[in-house]
Chains A and B, each alone.
Chain A
Amino acid sequence: MNRNRVFLSILAWSCFLLVPAGAFQKAEPPADPTVTELLKKAYLARGTIDANSKKIAAFDKFLQGRIEATQTALLKAADSSIFSLKALGDLEAARKKLAVLINGNKSEIDQAKQEMVVKELAKQKAFIEATKAKEKFEILARASEETEKLFSQQKENLVAQVNEAAAIEALALGGLKPLDARQWDRSKARHLLNRAGFGGTPQEVDALTQMGLHLAVDFLLEFQRQPGSQIPFESQLPEAAQPGEMFLTPMEIQNREFRRRAADGAQLNNLKSWWLQRMVQGQRPLQEKLVLFWHGHFTSEHRVVQNAHAMYRQNELFRENAAGNFSHLLHGIVHDPAMLRYLDNNSNVKSKPNENLARELMELFAMGEGNGYKEKDIMEGARALTGFVYDPLSCQFRFDSVNHDFGAKVIFGTTANFSGDEFVDLILRQPATSRHAANRLYAFFARQETNRASVERLASVLRRAQFEIKPLLRNLFLSEEFYHPQTMASQVKSPGELVVGFYRELGQKEVNYPGLDLAMRAMGQELFNPPNVKGWEGGKSWINANSLVTRFNQTSSLIDRPLVFAPPVAQRPALTQVDVAALLAPFVFNSPVEVVNHMVRRHLAVPLNENKKAELVKYLGNFPPSREWEKQKPMVNSKLRGLLSLLLASPEYQLH
Chain B
Amino acid sequence: MLQIRKFDRRQMVQYGMGLAAMGGAAPGFLFRTAQAAQAKKDSDSILVVVQLSGGNDGLSTVIPFQDPAYHNARKATRLDPKDVLRLNDDVGLHPNLKDFKGFYDQGKLAVIQGVGYPNPNQSHFTSMDIWHSGEANTKESPSPSATSGLEGWLGKYCDVAYPDKPDSTLAIAVGFNQTPRAIQSRRHGGLAVQGQGGFRLFGNTQDKARVEAMERLSKEKNQPGNSSLDFITRTIVDAVEAGKKINTISGNYRTPVVYPFNIPLAAALRTVASLIAGGASTRVYYVYQDGYDTHAGQKARHDKLMADLNQAVGAFSKDMERLEGGKKVLLMTMSEFGRRVEENGSQGTDHGTAAPMFLIGAGVKGGVSGKHPGLKKEDLYLGRDLQFHSDFRAVYATVLEKWLKTPSKQILGKQFPLLECLG
Given contacts A491-B228, A552-B202, 6 further A-B contacts (CB under 8 A): A369-B125, A375-B382, A490-B228, A524-B177, A609-B220, A649-B202
A651-B199 contact, Cβ under 8 Å, with A344-B295, A450-B143: no
What residue of chain B has the Cβ atom nearest to residue A547's Cβ?
B177
Instruction: Annotate A448-463 by CB proximity to B: 1 below 8 A, 0 otherwise.
Output: 1110100100000000
Is A411 an interface residue, CB under 8 A from the partner? no
**A490 contacts B148, CB within 8 Å?**
no
Binds A, one of B232-240, B260-268, B300-308: B232-240
**Contact partners of B227 in chain A: CB under 8 A:** 490
B144 interface residue per 8 A CB criterion: yes
Binding-face segment, A53-61, A255-263, A354-362? A354-362
Contact with B along A517-551 (1 / 0, CB 8 A): 00000001000000111110111111111111100
Residues of chain B within 8 A of A538, CB atoms compared: 145
Cα A369 to Cα B139 with chains together (Å): 11
Residues in chain A near residue B145, CB distance under 8 A = 443, 448, 537-541
Which range holds the interface residue count of chain A?
35 or more
Residues from 427 to 474 in A contacting B, C-beta threshold 8 Å: 439-440, 443, 448-450, 452, 455
B193 within 8 A of A: yes
Whether A161 is near chain B, meaning CB under 8 Å from some CB there, is no
CB neighbours of A440 from chain B (8 A) = 143-144
Known: A544-B235, A612-B217. A553 touches B202 (CB 8 A): yes
A489 at the interface (CB under 8 A from B): yes
> What are 28 A-B contacts with C-beta separation under 8 Å?
A347-B296, A352-B345, A353-B344, A353-B345, A354-B344, A354-B346, A355-B350, A355-B351, A359-B123, A368-B142, A369-B123, A369-B140, A369-B141, A371-B140, A448-B145, A449-B146, A491-B228, A549-B199, A607-B223, A609-B221, A612-B217, A616-B213, A619-B210, A642-B209, A649-B201, A649-B214, A650-B217, A655-B226
Interface size on B, residues (CB 8 A): 65
Pairwise interchain contact B243-A545, C-beta atoms closer than 8 A: yes
Q: Which residues of B contact A543 (CB under 8 A)?
A: 231-232, 235
Smallest CB–CB gap between A537 and chain B, Å?
5
| B223 with A608: CB separation less than 8 A | yes
B193:A537 contact, CB within 8 angstroms: no
**B179 at interface, CB cutoff 8 A:** yes
Instruction: Contact check, A651 vs B177: say whether CB atoms are below 8 A apart.
Output: no
The answer to whether B228 and A540 touch across the interface, beta carbons within 8 angstroms, is yes
When the two chains form their complex, are residues A545 and B242 in contact, meaning their CB atoms are under 8 A apart? yes
What sequence of 0s and 1s flags, for each residue 47-85 of chain A, a beta carbon within 8 Å of any chain B beta carbon? 000000000000000000000000000000000000000
Which chain B residue has the least Cβ–Cβ distance from A642? B210
B-side contacts of A86, CB under 8 Å: none
Closest 6 CB pairs of A and B: A352-B345, A347-B346, A545-B239, A619-B213, A651-B232, A450-B143
The answer to whether A655 touches B126 (Cβ under 8 A) is: no
CB-based contact B228/A452 at 8 Å: no
Nearest CB of chain A from residue B255's CB, rounded to whole Å: 24
Is B122 an interface residue, CB under 8 A from the partner?
Answer: yes
| B350 & A354 in contact (Cβ 8 Å cutoff) | yes
A560 on the interface (CB 8 Å rule)? yes
A541 and B123 form a contact (CB under 8 A): no
In the assembled complex, how far is the CB of residue A442 from the closest CB belonging to chain B, in whole angstroms? 8
Interchain CB contact under 8 A, A615 and B226: no
Contact B140 A370 (CB under 8 A): yes
- Say whether A363 faces chain B, with CB atoms less than 8 Å apart: yes
Which chain B residues border A552 with CB–CB below 8 Å? 201-202
Contact (Cβ within 8 A) A544 B217: no
A531 to B53, CA, bound (A): 12
Measured between alpha carbons, how far is A201 from B232 in the docked complex, in Å? 25
Say yes or no for A310: interface residue by CB 8 A criterion. Answer: no
- For residue B229, CB closer than 8 A to chain A, the reply is yes
Q: Are B238 and A537 in contact (CB under 8 A)?
A: no
Contact in complex: B223, A611 (CB < 8 Å):
no
A355 to B207, CA, bound (A): 56
A482 to chain B, nearest CB (A): 16
Contacts of B344 in A (CB 8 A): 347, 352-355
B residues 242-262 with Cβ under 8 Å of A? 242-243
- The yes or no answer to B359 lying at the interface (CB within 8 A) is no
Which listed residue (B179, B207, B345) contacts A638, Cβ 8 A? Answer: B207
Pairwise interchain contact B193-A354, C-beta atoms closer than 8 A? no
A349 CB–B CB distance under 8 Å: yes
Nearest chain A residue, comparing its CB with the CB of B215: A615
- Whether B346 and A545, one on each chain, are in contact in the complex, defined by CB atoms closer than 8 angstroms, is no
Q: Given the known A-B contacts A541-B178, A546-B239, A552-B202, are A348 and B209 also in contact in the complex, defined by CB atoms under 8 Å? A: no
Check if A545 sits within 8 Å of B168, measured CB to CB.
yes
Determine whether B197 belongs to the interface, using a CB cutoff of 8 Å to chain A: yes
Least Cβ–Cβ distance between B73 and chain A, in angstroms: 13
CB distance A560 to B223 under 8 Å? Answer: no
B193 & A546 in contact (Cβ 8 Å cutoff): yes
Closest to B179 in A: A544
Chain A residues contacting B191 (CB-CB under 8 Å) are 544-546
| A322 → chain B closest CB, angstroms | 20
A654 to B233, CA, bound (A): 10
Q: Say how far A518's CB is from chain B's closest CB, in angstroms.
A: 14
Task: Check: A492 CB closer than 8 A to any chain B CB.
Answer: yes
Interchain nearest-CB distance for A33 vs B (Å): 33
Q: A369-B126, A539-B145, A544-B178 are in contact. Are A348 and B345 (CB under 8 A)?
A: yes
Closest CB in chain A relative to B221 CB, distance in Å: 6
B205 contacts the other chain (Cβ, under 8 Å)?
yes
Nearest residue in A to B210 (C-beta to C-beta)? Answer: A642
Interfacial chain A residues near B205, Cβ < 8 Å: 556, 560, 642, 645
B194 CB within 8 Å of chain A: yes
Instruction: Using CB atoms, name the residue of chain B closest to A352.
Output: B345
On chain B, the residues within 8 Å of A421 by CB distance are none
Give bound CA distance, A452 to B209, whole Å. 48
Any B CB within 8 A of the CB of A646: yes
Whether B235 contacts A356 by the Cβ 8 Å rule is no
Q: Is the CB of A490 within 8 A of B226?
A: yes
Query: In angstroms, how far is the closest chain B Cβ from the Cβ of A483?
Result: 15
Closest residue of chain A to B198, judged by CB? A549
Beyond A356-B295, A552-B202, whether A541 also contacts B148 by CB under 8 A is: yes
| Contact for A489 among B125, B216, B226, B348, CB less than 8 A | B226
With both chains docked as a complex, state the minimum distance between the C-beta of A408 and any C-beta of chain B, in angstroms.
20
Question: Are A553 and B201 touching (Cβ within 8 A)?
Answer: yes
Separation of A152 and B205 alpha carbons in the complex (Å): 55
Does chain B have a CB within 8 A of A606? yes
Residues of B within 8 A of A560 (CB): 204-205
A608 to B146, CA, bound (A): 29
State the CA gap A349–B347 with chains docked (Å): 12
Chain B: minimal CB distance from A643 (Å): 9
Contacts of A531 in B (CB 8 A): 177
Within 8 A of B (CB), among A585-618: 606-609, 611-612, 615-616, 618
> Bound state CA distance, A492 and B65, in angstroms?
51
Q: Which residues of A contact B296 (CB under 8 A)?
A: 344, 347, 354
Residues of A within 8 A of B217 (CB): 612, 615-616, 646, 650
Check if B229 sits within 8 Å of A651, measured CB to CB: yes
B149 within 8 A of A: yes
- List of B residues within 8 angstroms of A368 by Cβ: 142
A545 pairs with B178, CB closer than 8 A: no
**Whole-angstrom distance between the alpha carbons of A646 and B243 in the complex?**
20
Whether, in the assembled complex, A557 has its beta carbon less than 8 Å from a beta carbon of chain B, the answer is yes
Interface assignment of B222: CB less than 8 Å from any CB of chain A: yes
